[in-house]
Structure 1
Amino acid sequence: MLAAMPPTPPPTPEPGEPRIRDRGDACPGALRLHSADDGRLARLRLPGGRLTSRQVEILAGVAETLGDGRLSITSRGNAELRGLADDCGAELAALLAEAGLLPSPTHERVRNIVASPASGLDGLGAADVQLWARELDDHLLSAPWAAALSGRFLFVLDDGRGDVAGLGGDVTLVAVRGGGAELHVGGRAVRLAGDDAVGAALAAAGAFLDTARKAGTGAWRVRELPEGYEVDIAAPGGTAEPVPAPVLPRGAALSPGPLGPAALSVLAPLGRLTAAQLRALLPADEVRLTPWRGVVVVGAGAERLPALDAAGLVTRPDSPWAGVTACTGRPGCAKSLADVRTDATTTATAAGTATAAAPGRPVHFSGCERRCGHPHGAWTDVLATADGDYLVDGVPTPRTALPEAVTAARTTR
C-alpha cells in the first residue's frame, strides 16, 4: 500500500506550449503514503471537510498512536497525518475504514470536494451546499470511471457568498438566490436548476476526462488542457442556459467567532491541531475542516469560545495568529531552507505584543520557491532564502526583522 517517491516531473513547458503529463499524479492519499523527512504522510479526503464526533476522536487516537500526535489541515479542508512509520499502512487503513473515512479504496484520492463551511448554519447562503457535497461524493463513489480523475482535480461548491468560489476549482458550482446554480468550468458557465447541479458537476468531470484523452497530453486539471480543447458543460436531463460573461463571486474567508446561534469558527495555529485540541472540539454535532486551516464546530454556542481559546485555538479575528500559515519546513521537508514554522511562531508571538497587531491580508511562510500550501488571492509572501534570511514580498529581510516587516506588509500593502 505504500508508494515509492514520485519520479522527477517533466520540465515546465515554454509559454504557449501545452503541459505534457507522462505519468499519473503522485498525490498522497490514505492508502498511498508519501515519504517525507519526518516519516510517512497520509492525506485524507473529507468532502466538505466534514467529520463526525466519532471520527474526530478516532483521528486524535490515530495521530497519537501512529503519527506525530497532530493533524494538519490542508488548503482544501482535507486532513494530513505526519510522522507515520514505514510499516503502518495496513493498520492505518483498517482504522480509517472502521471510522468510515475510507469508503472506497479505488476512489479515495478523487474525493476532492470543497464546500462553503458555514453553509446551512448562519443563514447567509443561497443554498445548503454541504448537502450537495454529500450527494456529489455518493455519485463519485458509485461511478467507476471517476477513479481515473487526478488526485488534484477539485470540485468547489459555493453557497453564493463567494467564500470558496475563488479557490481554483476545476468544476465550480455556485448557488444562486431564488433557486438554481451556475456551473463554471474553464472560464465558461451555464445556469441550471438546483436539482440538476450535482449531476451536471459530475458530468463535467466525465467530460473533462474525455477531453483530456482527446488532447493526449495527460492533463490532470482543466487549466492544463491545450488551447482549443474545451470541456462540454450541460445539465443532463434538464436545461442549461449559457452565462454570457461569467464572473465568480468573491467573498471573505471565514473569520473566527460565532456562526449563527449554534456553531463556531476557530482556526488552528499554523494549520495543525494536537490530539488534545481535536478532543477539545467535542462535543459537537459535527466538525467541518475549512480551506483556511480552521474548524467549524456545529452544535456549539459562544459559551464554548473561552475553553477553545484555552486549548490554544484561534477564536478571535483580531488575533495575530489569524491568517498566518506555513509549509512543513525543516525538519519535515528536505527541500526547505528553514524551519519556517518556528520562524512563523516567533513572528506571530512578537506581533501579539505590538500596538498594531490586527491582522491584515493572509501571510504564508515558505521554505522554498514551491510555496506549498499558500493561500489563494492576495497574500503576504514570506520566502526563506539560502543565506538563512527571508524575502518578504520580494524584499530581503533578516530573520530578526520578520515581525516588523511582516506586520507592515500585511497592513499597508
Structure 2
Amino acid sequence: MLAAMSSAALRPSSQATAVSRDRGDACPGTLRLHAADDGALARVRIPGGVLTLSQAEALADATQRLGDGDLHLTSRGNVQVRGLADGCGAELAELLTSAGLLPSRGHERVRNIVASPLSGLDGGGMDGRGLDGQGPDGRGLRDIRPWLSALDAVLCASEAAQALSGRFLFALDDGRGDLAGLDADVTLRAVADGGAQLGLGASDLALHVSAEDAPRAAMAAAEAFLEAERASGARAWRVAELALADDELTAAVGRRLTAENISHERQVRETARTEGPLPGAVGDALSVHIPLGRLSAPQWRELTRTTTCELRLTPWRGVVLPTPGASAAQGAESLARLAAVGLVTDPDSPWLRVGACIGRPGCAKSRADVRADATGTLGAVGPRGLPLYWSGCERRCGHPRGERIDVVAAPEGGYRLSVEVPGGEPRTVPLDDPSQLAAALTAITP
C-alpha cells in the first residue's frame, strides 16, 4: 500500500513521486524465495550481467536439478529460477555459493548493477572521443569492467548497504548512453574528459568525479540516499520516492563525497542516448535476443559453447557473447547455430518489440496465458514502432522503461491496449480476441 507524503517543491525534471512504503520490499532473492503458482521462485543477482562459463553451467544445473528446467532473464540482467520445490532453498544457496554467485548473504538482494554490455568489445575507448560525448559511431568511451568489479566489492563491504531495497538500481554506462533511459537510482556515466558523471534517478543534475573515484562515489550516493530516507521518517525504495528536490539530494550526495575526500563538481547531466545492442555480430562479440526472456537449458548451453570466456546478460533480455579472435565466417556459423535453437539473431525480428510477464499458469493474479497469446500473435507485429508488453493484470510486472503499448488482460476477458499520448490522456482500445491484434494496433497508433 502506498501513502502520500508531504514534499518539498520538486523540480519538474525529477519526475519524482514522493511515497512512503509501510513495509519492507518483498523482492525475492536466492535466500528469500517467492511463492508462485508454479512453485517457489529465486532471483539470482548477476552484477553487470556478467557470468563466467562455470557460473553459467551452475545456473543451468540448478534449474535442471531443482527448478522447471528453464532460466528466466529479467529486465535488470538477472536470472530467475522458477518451479522450485519446497525445502530446496539450502541446496540452491549452497550450489550458488560454490559457484561464486552468492559472495555475501547480507547483500545478495542489493547487488543490482547493470552495465553497458558491449563495453570493451566494440572498439570504443578514450582514443576515439566523439563530439557528442560518445565514442566513435556511438560506441563507449571507457571499458567499465573495473568500475563493475570495484562497485560490487564496495557494495558488499558496506554494512549500511544491506538496508537498500531489492529494487534499488546502480547503472554503469560506458559513455554510449545505452543505460541512460533506465533512470537508475545511481548512474555512473563515462564522459569525454576521462572522468565520470554521477547521476541520481531521473534528475538533470550530475556530479563530476574522477574515473578512479567513480565506484566509491556511487556507493557514497547510495549511502546518502539511505541517510535522506531516515531523515524523512518515511520508508522509500527508490530515489524517485524521496520527498526531495533534485538539488537537495544532489547537495546531500555532494556533502557525503566531501566527507569521504572525493573531489566533485556539479554539472548538467549528459543526455545523449542510444539503444541496446541489436542481434548479430558487433565488434568482438555476438548479440542475441531471448524471446520473452525464457531460456531452456539446451539453449543456455549453446550460448556457453559459443563464447570462450563469459556471458553478458543485458537489461533488454538479451545476451552478449564475447568472441575475441573469431573470424567473420566463424561468427556467421555461430549465429546460425544459435538461431537453430530458437534464439533471435535477426535485427529485424518482431520479437525485439514483444515482451510479457509470466502470466498463467505461473501467476495466480494473471487473468490470461499472456505468453501464449504474445507468441500466437507475433505475425501481427512489425519490426518497427513502439514495443508491446503483455501483462496478465494491471501490475504489469517486468514492464520496460519508456514508451510502449501496454496489452493488459481485462477482468471481463480479452485485453485492453493502451498507449501514453504526450500532453493528453492515454489512448485505449479493447482487444476482445488476440487474433484481432493487427486491427487493434492500427486503431491505437493511427
Match of 2:105 in 1: 105
- Give 1:406 deviation, angstroms: 6.5
Structure 2: how far apart are the matches of 1:91 and 1:406? 47
- Tell me which amino acid in the other structure corresponds to 1:103: P
Structure 2: how far apart are the matches of 1:179 and 1:200? 16
Match of 1:44 in 2: 44
> How do 1:261-272 residues align onto structure 2 when only pairs under 5 Å count?
262-272=284-294
> How do 1:291-330 residues align onto structure 2 when only pairs under 5 Å count?
291-299=315-323, 301-330=331-360
- Tell me which amino acid in the other structure corresponds to 1:180: G
Does structure 1 retain, via aligned residues, the 8 Å contact 2:431–2:437?
Answer: no
Describe the shift of the 1:400–1:221 C-alpha distance in structure 2 as closer, same or farther (beyond 3 A). Answer: closer
Describe the shift of the 1:321–1:406 C-alpha distance in structure 2 as closer, same or farther (beyond 3 A). Answer: farther
1:193 aligned onto 2:184: no
- Tell me which amino acid in the other structure corresponds to 2:240: R
1:13 maps to which of 4, 25, 34: 4
- Tell me which amino acid in the other structure corresponds to 1:230: L
Structure 2: how far apart are the matches of 1:405 and 1:13? 40
Describe the shift of the 1:391–1:263 C-alpha distance in structure 2 as closer, same or farther (beyond 3 A). Answer: same
SS at match of 1:337: coil
1:381 aligned onto 2:406: yes
Deviations 1:30-74 (Å, cap 9, x if unpaired)? Answer: 110000111000001110001111111121111111111111111
Match of 1:68 in 2: 68
1:365 maps to which of 370, 385, 390: 390
Match of 2:135 in 1: none
- Tell me which amino acid in the other structure corresponds to 2:191: V
Structure 2: how far apart are the matches of 1:92 and 1:382? 35
Structure 2: how far apart are the matches of 1:380 and 1:53? 36
Structure 1: how far apart are the matches of 2:303 and 2:443? 33
- Give 1:312 deviation, angstroms: 0.4
- Give 1:252 deviation, angstroms: 1.2
Structure 1: how far apart are the matches of 2:187 and 2:439? 36
> How do 1:332-347 residues align onto structure 2 when only pairs under 5 Å count?
332-347=362-377
- Give 1:175 deviation, angstroms: 0.7
> How do 1:5-404 residues align onto structure 2 when only pairs under 5 Å count?
10-13=1-4, 18-123=18-123, 124-186=139-201, 187=203, 188-227=205-244, 230=249, 232-234=252-254, 235=257, 236-243=260-267, 245-260=268-283, 262-283=284-305, 284=307, 285-299=309-323, 301-348=331-378, 350-351=379-380, 357-393=382-418, 394-404=428-438
Describe the shift of the 1:264–1:58 C-alpha distance in structure 2 as closer, same or farther (beyond 3 A). Answer: same
Deviations 1:203-249 (Å, cap 9, x if unpaired)? Answer: 10111111111111011211111146625223443421111x33433
Structure 2: how far apart are the matches of 1:404 and 1:67? 36
Match of 1:4 in 2: none
- Tell me which amino acid in the other structure corresponds to 1:94: E
SS at match of 1:371: coil
Describe the shift of the 1:93–1:409 C-alpha distance in structure 2 as closer, same or farther (beyond 3 A). Answer: farther
- Give 1:18 deviation, angstroms: 4.3
Deviates more, 1:358-367 or 1:77-86: 358-367
Structure 1: how far apart are the matches of 2:158 and 2:191? 27
SS at match of 2:224: helix
- Tell me which amino acid in the other structure corresponds to 2:362: G
Q: How many residues are paired up?
A: 396
Structure 1: how far apart are the matches of 2:429 and 2:277? 29
Structure 2: how far apart are the matches of 1:18 and 1:161? 30
Describe the shift of the 1:405–1:139 C-alpha distance in structure 2 as closer, same or farther (beyond 3 A). Answer: farther
Describe the shift of the 1:303–1:408 C-alpha distance in structure 2 as closer, same or farther (beyond 3 A). Answer: farther
- Give 1:371 deviation, angstroms: 0.7
- Give 1:28 deviation, angstroms: 0.1
Give structure 2 stretches of 5+ with no counterpart.
8-16, 124-138, 419-427
Deviations 1:244-275 (Å, cap 9, x if unpaired)? Answer: x3343321122111120x21110111111011
Does structure 1 retain, via aligned residues, the 8 Å contact 2:2–2:20?
Answer: no
Deviations 1:287-310 (Å, cap 9, x if unpaired)? Answer: 011110111111263331000000
Structure 2: how far apart are the matches of 1:26 and 1:179? 39
Describe the shift of the 1:190–1:14 C-alpha distance in structure 2 as closer, same or farther (beyond 3 A). Answer: closer
Does structure 2 retain, via aligned residues, the 8 Å contact 1:366–1:384?
Answer: yes
Does structure 2 retain, via aligned residues, the 8 Å contact 1:185–1:233?
Answer: no
Describe the shift of the 1:302–1:138 C-alpha distance in structure 2 as closer, same or farther (beyond 3 A). Answer: farther
SS at match of 1:342: helix
- The CA RMSD measured in Å over matched residues stands at 2.0
TM-score, normalised with respect to structure 1? 0.91
Deviations 1:185-207 (Å, cap 9, x if unpaired)? Answer: 14231112111111111110111
Structure 1: how far apart are the matches of 2:364 and 2:194? 49
User: Taking every aligned residue pair, what percent have the same amino acid on both sides?
Assistant: 55
- Give 1:383 deviation, angstroms: 1.1
SS at match of 1:364: strand
Structure 2: how far apart are the matches of 1:386 and 1:189? 44
Deviations 1:8-36 (Å, cap 9, x if unpaired)? Answer: xx245389694222322111001100001
Does structure 1 retain, via aligned residues, the 8 Å contact 2:357–2:396?
Answer: yes
SS at match of 1:195: coil
TM-score, normalised with respect to structure 2? 0.84
SS at match of 1:369: coil
Structure 1: how far apart are the matches of 2:431 and 2:2? 31
Does structure 2 retain, via aligned residues, the 8 Å contact 1:117–1:130?
Answer: no
- Give 1:351 deviation, angstroms: 3.7
Give structure 1 stretches of 5+ with no counterpart.
1-9
